[in-house]
């Protein structure tokens, strides 16, 4: 998202900056009120960390969705859909199937009931208490504090760039303002404040993206004509985009050629890495612990599914269909980097959605789109800041000091530290990393945490040593893949080039385009099973305490 909103200066030139400023000001006041409500209702560490386990299913589902879907999905991946086409809608299916149905029904119920039985308030504490290991809790907390600030900084960059261009203020000022606004209601309101604000922001996101989709179809003459026109453009790939055609692009309503570079990118990094990776997000897992019973989770399933359809489903559809508009308007094809370089800031795909809105839709949409993008950025950032701070203040601090005392103050200090680190990364990170940065984060989380998370919920024979080894193997394999095997990251980092004189260790197709998740995740599963089979099993008392509760019906 770092370059998300470079067209905003030109694209929002028809927008009255003062009107937008007033709207944003009113929006911030409403957010402040909701954060204050969270502050007033936060009386204990349990309130601060898991919203007192009394969250309404609508608030929980909207908060889950808003934390799940960020600007990187709406604009970053929406732009990727402008290049890859409708094939990216498989990611919407994966998000709903894994991120909502499997997550809520098979993961959420057991996480909630086990969390109550164990008295856990965070993801590291949940895994640590499940396997009776303070060291495991510390280990997971450290991993979270290392990787999540990298992801939150990407989202932070997008929001700051947006404020920079719309409000005409320096980037560093925009960065500070954006981080401060989010910090205030996260630090003081805790998870209650975060979830109240998320419910509002999620509603704004649904309304904004549905309006965008409807107006897109109106602009293109209707649903059937728009999709037929996009299908008919397939021959233009070979004619106008020969490099993309050589990499497997076969049109915007067709999947890339099997086993091609584009096929591996779409399937391994986007569909599998991001789709399955949603199951192992610490900031999402903790929301299962915020409801009163499994009934609330059942009620939240449909709300979450509708949220995903209306937000990312709309974004990916509009991204792909933008090609029809650009071509008909003689502005080139959205996926053609050279043509986009002429039209909008060197063809960065992050610009496709804002560019389409700017040129195709009424000025009124720009205002709603502004609030939609701010909502997407702030909701995800607040959740990431909260989980980083809680891991640092609640898990790492208490594991190191062996303190059993609950301290909201220490957790708040942890959140402040997480925000500072994220801001530093936001200053240092290079541009153009939105979609790939998100895919990396989701893939690493899946490889590191998902096997152990599943084992904690469903396998009585999983051991502490097996979980330790699995998490370490997942992280190590992911990092090795990023540094030495996956072409984009390996070439950009230059470590492999420095050590071995080449960009990647294995140049044979398809290894340079296979996402590290594809081999890191199975490796973590194998390590978990093998090590657990040959190490000391957990005590029956602990297992009996967890698993009967996991089948709770109410």
Residue 164 reports pLDDT greater than 70: no
Q: What is the mean pLDDT of residues 434-457?
A: 85
How high is the pLDDT of residue 16?
A: 61
How high is the pLDDT of residue 525?
A: 97
pLDDT band, very low/low/confident/very high, at 376 (cuts 50, 70, 90): confident
Contact 494, 467 (CB under 8 A): no
Catalogue all structural domains in the chain, each as residue range(s) with its CATH number. Answer: 8-450 (1.20.1730.10)
How high is the pLDDT of residue 6?
A: 37
Q: Which helix (H) or strand (E) holds 129?
A: helix 123-130
- Looking at per-residue pLDDT, the higher value among 136 and 45 belongs to 136
Q: pTM above the 0.85 mark?
A: no
Q: Determine how many CB atoms are found less than 10 A away from the CB of residue 529.
A: 16
Q: pLDDT tens digits for 504-549? A: 999 898 999 999 999 999 999 999 999 999 998 877 766 776 776 4
> How far is the C-alpha of 4 from the C-alpha of 373, rounded, in Å?
10
> How far is the C-alpha of 75 from the C-alpha of 161, rounded, in Å?
13
Contact 412, 103 (CB under 8 A): no
> How far is the C-alpha of 533 from the C-alpha of 543, rounded, in Å?
16
> How far is the C-alpha of 183 from the C-alpha of 419, rounded, in Å?
7
Q: How far apart, in Å, are the Cα atoms of 292 and each of 49, 279, 453?
A: 15, 21, 21
pLDDT band, very low/low/confident/very high, at 346 (cuts 50, 70, 90): very low
Q: How far apart, in Å, are the Cα atoms of 177 and each of 174, 182, 186, 423?
A: 5, 9, 14, 11
Taking alpha carbons only, the member of 36, 151, 40, 49 closest to residue 412 is 49
Residue 553 reports pLDDT greater than 80: no
DSSP states along 238-291: HHH-HHHHHTT---TTSPPPTTSHHHHIIIIIIIIIIHHHGGG-HHHHGGGGGS
Taking alpha carbons only, the member of 433, 466, 441 closest to residue 451 is 466
3-state secondary structure 304-364: HHHHHHHHHHHHHHHHHHHHHHHHHCCCCCCCCHHHHHHHCHHHCHHHHHHHHHHHHCCHH
Tokens of 469: 């080894």
- Looking at per-residue pLDDT, the higher value among 358 and 82 belongs to 82
- Looking at per-residue pLDDT, the higher value among 268 and 373 belongs to 268
Burial letters 60-72, b for 16+ CB under 10 A, else e: bbbbbbbbbbbbb
Q: pLDDT tens digits for 255-307? A: 999 999 989 988 988 888 888 888 888 888 888 888 777 777 888 888 888 99
> How far is the C-alpha of 221 from the C-alpha of 350, rounded, in Å?
25
Q: Any idea what DSSP says for residue 396?
A: I
Residue with tokens 């984060």: 441
> How far is the C-alpha of 492 from the C-alpha of 66, rounded, in Å?
31
Contact 192, 44 (CB under 8 A): no
How high is the pLDDT of residue 298?
A: 81
Q: What is the mean pLDDT of residues 140-152?
A: 86
Q: Any idea what DSSP says for residue 473?
A: H
Residue 20 C-alpha from the chain's centroid: 27
Q: What is the mean pLDDT of residues 36-47?
A: 70
Taking alpha carbons only, the member of 236, 274, 275, 276 closest to residue 254 is 236
Residue 323 reports pLDDT greater than 70: yes
Contact 524, 477 (CB under 8 A): yes
């Amino acid at each position: 998202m770092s370059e998300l909103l470079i067209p905003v200066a030109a694209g929002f030139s028809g927008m009255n900056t003062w009107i937008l400023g007033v709207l944003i000001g009113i929006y911030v006041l409403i957010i402040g009120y909701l954060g204050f409500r969270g502050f007033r209702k936060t009386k204990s560490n349990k309130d601060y960390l898991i919203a007192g386990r009394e969250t309404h299913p609508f608030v929980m589902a909207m908060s889950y969705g808003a934390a799940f879907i960020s600007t990187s999905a709406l604009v970053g991946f929406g732009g990727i859909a402008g290049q890859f086409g409708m094939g990216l809608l498989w990611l919407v299916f994966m998000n709903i199937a894994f991120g909502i149905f499997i997550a809520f029904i098979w993961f959420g119920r057991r996480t909630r009931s086990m969390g109550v039985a164990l008295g856990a308030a965070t993801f590291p504490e949940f895994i640590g208490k499940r396997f009776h290991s303070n060291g495991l809790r510390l280990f997971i907390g450290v991993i979270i504090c290392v990787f999540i600030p990298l992801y939150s900084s990407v989202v932070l960059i997008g929001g700051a760039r947006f404020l920079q261009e719309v409000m005409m203020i320096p980037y560093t000022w925009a960065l500070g303002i954006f981080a401060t606004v989010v910090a205030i209601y996260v630090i003081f309101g805790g998870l209650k404040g975060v979830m109240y604000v998320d419910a509002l922001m999620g509603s704004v996101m649904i309304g904004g993206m549905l309006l965008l989709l409807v107006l897109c179809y109106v602009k293109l003459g209707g649903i059937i004509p728009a999709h037929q026109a996009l299908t008919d453009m397939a021959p233009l790939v070979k004619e106008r985009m020969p490099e993309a055609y050589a990499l497997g692009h076969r049109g915007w309503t067709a999947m890339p050629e099997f086993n091609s570079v584009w096929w591996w990118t779409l399937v391994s990094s986007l569909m599998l890495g991001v789709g399955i990776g949603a199951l192992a997000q610490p900031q999402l897992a903790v929301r299962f612990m915020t409801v009163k019973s499994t009934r609330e989770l059942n009620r939240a399933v449909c709300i979450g599914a509708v949220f995903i359809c209306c937000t990312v489903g709309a974004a990916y559809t509009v991204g792909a269909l933008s090609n029809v508009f650009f071509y008909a308007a003689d502005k080139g094809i959205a996926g053609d980097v050279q043509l986009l370089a002429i039209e909008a800031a060197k063809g960065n795909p992050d610009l496709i959605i804002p560019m389409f809105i700017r040129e195709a839709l009424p000025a009124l949409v720009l205002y709603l789109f502004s609030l939609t993008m701010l909502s997407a950025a702030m909701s995800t950032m607040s959740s990431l800041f909260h989980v980083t701070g809680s891991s640092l203040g609640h898990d790492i601090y208490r594991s190191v000091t062996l303190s059993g005392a609950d301290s909201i103050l220490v957790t708040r200090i942890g959140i402040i530290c997480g925000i500072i680190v994220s801001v530093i990364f936001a200053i240092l990170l290079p541009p153009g990393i939105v979609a790939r940065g998100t895919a990396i984060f989701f893939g690493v989380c899946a490889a590191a945490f998902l096997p152990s998370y599943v084992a904690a919920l469903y396998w009585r024979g999983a051991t502490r040593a097996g979980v330790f080894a699995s998490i370490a193997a997942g992280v190590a394999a992911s990092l090795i893949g990023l540094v030495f095997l996956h072409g984009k990251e390996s070439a950009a980092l230059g470590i492999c080039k420095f050590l071995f004189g080449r960009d990647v260790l294995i140049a044979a197709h398809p290894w340079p385009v296979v996402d590290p998740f594809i081999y890191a995740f199975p490796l973590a599963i194998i390590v978990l099973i093998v090590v657990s089979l040959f190490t000391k099993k957990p005590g029956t008392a602990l297992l009996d305490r967890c698993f009967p509760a996991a089948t709770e019906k109410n």
